Amino acid sequence: MQLEEISRSLVRGDPGAVEKLTRQALDEGFPPRVILEEGLIAGMSVVGMKFRNNEMYFPEVLVSARAMKAGMAPLEPILKACGIEPMGRCVLGTVKGDIHDIGKNLVGIMFKGTGFEVIDLGVNVTLDKFIAAIRTHRPDILGMSALLTTTMVQMKVNMEGFRSAGLLDGMKVMVGGAPVTLKFAEEIGAHAYGKDAAEAAGKAAELMKDLKTAF
């Protein structure tokens, strides 16, 4: 019941309640991983489903994301001390020539809500900056966003650059944005396409299973 209440408070966007309930669950002896998965992540999964079904909108998702952050505040130090790793590491960025970030930011929120560590490179990210981030952070997943048809072609340039630099081994690439399609993703050799933030988070979790199976 305690964990269900954490989830419900998160969906309602009540950061005070989420933090209080998370601390209470810790005090009552619930394992940190269980609180994370069955309380916070379960709540964000509901948020993702509601967003996908147009039952929640971007401002409401942001409020729930703040509640998620409040719940993570007491959990993160304990998770790190216990050596519990995030589901995976993801690097995100809007491609060169494009300064739109609302969709990318929402993807980042949903990724964090499903247990990923997220490194957000921001907007107008050049190929060189992507490559530097890949070499520095060694992400499991790299996500590229574009809102313009004129900039989504940069995704193809980037994929060719990653391939030439030998960076695709052990890393999956996801693409998304208004003009991007599944067909385009397949044409440029991306591993997955997300039509919205909730779907992207689900696809990312699937890609992690593929990576773990491969290694």
Give the per-residue pLDDT at 37: 84
Nearest Cα neighbor of 197 from 14, 64, 23 is 64
Residues 46 and 75 in one domain: yes
Domain boundary among 46, 81, 116: 81
Residues 98 and 203 in one domain: yes
Residues 34 and 95 in one domain: no
Give the per-residue pLDDT at 185: 97
Domain boundary among 31, 65, 81: 81
User: What does pTM read for this prediction?
Assistant: 0.78
Residues 151 and 113 in one domain: yes
Task: Take residue 158 and report the two structure tokens written for it.
Answer: 């980037």
Residues 68 and 135 in one domain: no
Q: What is the CATH number of the domain that holds 26?
A: 1.10.1240.10
Domain boundary among 48, 81, 114: 81
Give the per-residue pLDDT at 1: 63
Residues 106 and 147 in one domain: yes
Q: Which residues contact 20 (CB under 8 A, 6 or more apart)?
A: none
Residues 205 and 134 in one domain: yes
Q: Which domain holds residue 7?
A: 2-81
Q: What is the CATH number of the domain that holds 160?
A: 3.40.50.280
Task: Take residue 155 and report the two structure tokens written for it.
Answer: 């995704």
Residues 7 and 42 in one domain: yes
Residues 120 and 201 in one domain: yes
- Give the total number of structural domains in the chain: 2
d(CA 19, CA 31): 16
Give the per-residue pLDDT at 214: 56
Give the per-residue pLDDT at 215: 47
Task: Take residue 106 and report the two structure tokens written for it.
Answer: 């929402």
Q: Which residues contact 188 (CB under 8 A, 6 or more apart)?
A: 155, 156, 159, 175
Spans of the chain below 50 pLDDT: 215
Residues 77 and 128 in one domain: no
How many Å separate Cα 128 from the centre of its chain? 22
Residues 76 and 165 in one domain: no
Residues 74 and 126 in one domain: no
d(CA 63, CA 78): 24
